[in-house]
Structure 1
Amino acid sequence: MDAGRSVGMDMPRRDGYLMWILARLPWWVSVCLATLVFTLLRFVVPNIEFENPLFKGFALAARQMAWFAGFFLLPAVVSALLSYGKSQRLERQSGIESIRSLGWKEFEELLGEAYRRDGYSVVENDHVGPDGGVDLLLKKSGNTYVVQCKQWRDAKVGVSIVREMFGVMHHQNATGVIIVTSGMFTQEARNFANGKPIDLVEGSQLAEFIRNVQSERTTFDCSPPPKASAEMICPVCGAELIVRTARRGSRAGNRFLGCTSYPKCQHTQDCLG
């Protein structure tokens, strides 16, 4: 994500925008809106004396139109179902391996639900594909945090991503940045984050966080994720491979696996998945 991109949701078609927004708000918002519309049309508007013939005709028809307020209950049902699904997904987690088995979108929704339970106000970024930059926007006690979620099961999150999100934090005037991965961070990434308002949450820490916000704490596997597989080891020098992003050339913007001993070793290979 470009540092200049603002945090927000990808908008759907205009004709469904209101319903789309309501479905992603708490269910009670739609219920309150439906109640308000019904009250206005059923009891308030018909009792107002209008001079304008057009408004007078609307007032006469308002009582029969009041039942259209039920239309706003539909997103309330959708919102309740979505909220229930996210809650149940969090409760089903039993350890880092179950978390690592989630898809990237489920992973982001899991973290959104976890931070809600931890007392944060959460805005989810409904982008279309993975790695959209700012995935969650958290607010608590007057502070704002930008969050990026990395469902990288094997590869380590490198310093370039941490540095980029630090820039996004300043652009958004946020209090801090949180980067969460189901895997691990490189030592360079940890060194860069040290002393800065950057919280790096990896494998075992993530599992512990999820366990702490579950309604019923059960036996939970918080052990670190397994070490990188053979596919993540450089075949030239034996060092670990990490995911990098091409910045120049015909493949600019594409991800690839690069050796952590670069520039001493310049081996690269395609990044799968």
Structure 2
Amino acid sequence: MQLREKPGLPSALIGLAVRLPWWLGLALAVISYAGLHHLAQKPMPAALQPGQMGSFLLSAATHGLALAGQYLLPVFFAVGALVSAFRRGKAVRLYSAATTRADALGRMSWQEFEILVGEYFRRQGFGVLDNGGGGADGGVDVVLHKTSGKGKGSYLVQCKHWRALRVGVQPVRELYGVMAAHGAAGGFVVTSGDFTEEAVRFADGLALTLINGKTLMRDIQAHKASGPAGLSAPDCPLCGAAMVLRQARSGATAGKQFWGCSRYAQDRCRGTREVD
């Protein structure tokens, strides 16, 4: 598995703005115009003096780039900001739909599934960087950043929107190799379906978390349940993070609700509290 190919300069600038908050992209558009416009207004040397050929050529090149760039860069950043705003709104809508429809994952395209996964991790406290979409299997789909607390560092996420087939061990192995090559603190493979037993065994004990469709929907529903039900979410007794409402699936307490740590997916924090 390889990361996507490097884009050209226009695509790279637009992509940068897409990955930033929309207001920051607009700020870059204004700043780039102001700075380049200032350079474009500077007068060219009146005459070429002996021994100044190098500085003259540099000044001429800077002036020419500023003349064009004062209009092009703001446009690139503004387009990226608009796309960022659109994607952010779409992420919120997709997440909201997932809280109300049991079949939400099956109704999404693979692009929408990647957006939903990014929003899922954003609401768990990660900084989220969409790696850009280039195909139904583009390698690393989302890059996460954690700047403080336990597990600080970058995390790589691969999304598998497979409705019928279970995700086997090969994609999991490949992501683990990319994690090692890039020095990532951890990684996640998220699927709308399920994983094979071989994939689960390979990931066991590694800094690699597998999240199937049922777990993803359960966590999204748990985040929803922690608010409208009128319950005040307590802090985790182990790490201090916010807790979410979960439901025991097996054992003597099967079916009973309890508070679980919202950091379980990324930190494996097993802090719990009873529901009063």
Shorter-chain TM range is 0.5 to 0.7
The answer as to 2:39 corresponding to 1:34 is: no
The 2-side partners of 1:193 and 1:40 are apart by: 49
CA-atom RMSD, angstroms?
Answer: 3.9
Q: 1:132 to 1:96 in 2, by over 3 A?
A: farther
The 1-side partners of 2:146 and 2:74 are apart by: 34
Give how far 1:189 is off.
Answer: 2.0
Q: Residue 196 of structure 1: which of 201, 206, 213 is its match?
A: 206
Give how far 1:35 is off.
Answer: 3.1
2:161 match: 151
The 1-side partners of 2:73 and 2:180 are apart by: 43
Q: 1:14 to 1:73 in 2, by over 3 A?
A: closer
Could you tell me whether the CA contact under 8 Å between 2:140 and 2:156 is conserved in 1?
yes
The number of aligned residues is 213
Larger RCO, structures 1/2 (Cα 8 Å, 6+ apart): 1
Q: Residue 177 of structure 1: which of 179, 182, 187 is its match?
A: 187
Q: 1:103 to 1:146 in 2, by over 3 A?
A: same
SS in 2 for 1:88: helix
What TM-score, normalized to structure 2?
0.62
Give how far 1:191 is off.
Answer: 1.9
Q: Residue 100 of structure 1: which of 103, 106, 114 is its match?
A: 106
Q: 1:75 to 1:118 in 2, by over 3 A?
A: same
- How much identity, in percent, do the aligned residues show? 34
Q: 1:150 to 1:218 in 2, by over 3 A?
A: farther
What TM-score, normalized to structure 1?
0.62
Q: 1:47 to 1:102 in 2, by over 3 A?
A: closer
Could you tell me whether the CA contact under 8 Å between 1:149 and 1:181 is conserved in 2?
yes
Is there any run of 5+ residues in structure 1 with no aligned partner, and where? 225-273
Give how far 1:98 is off.
Answer: 0.9
Give how far 1:17 is off.
Answer: 3.9
2:82 match: 77
The answer as to 2:131 corresponding to 1:125 is: yes
Residues 1-273 of structure 1 mapped to structure 2, 5 A cutoff: 1=1, 5=2, 7=3, 9-37=4-32, 39-40=34-35, 52-53=45-46, 71=75, 72-93=77-98, 94-141=100-147, 142-213=152-223
Q: 1:120 to 1:81 in 2, by over 3 A?
A: same
Give how far 1:217 is off.
Answer: 5.6
SS in 2 for 1:177: strand
Is there any run of 5+ residues in structure 2 with no aligned partner, and where? 47-55, 230-246, 250-276
Q: 1:154 to 1:80 in 2, by over 3 A?
A: same
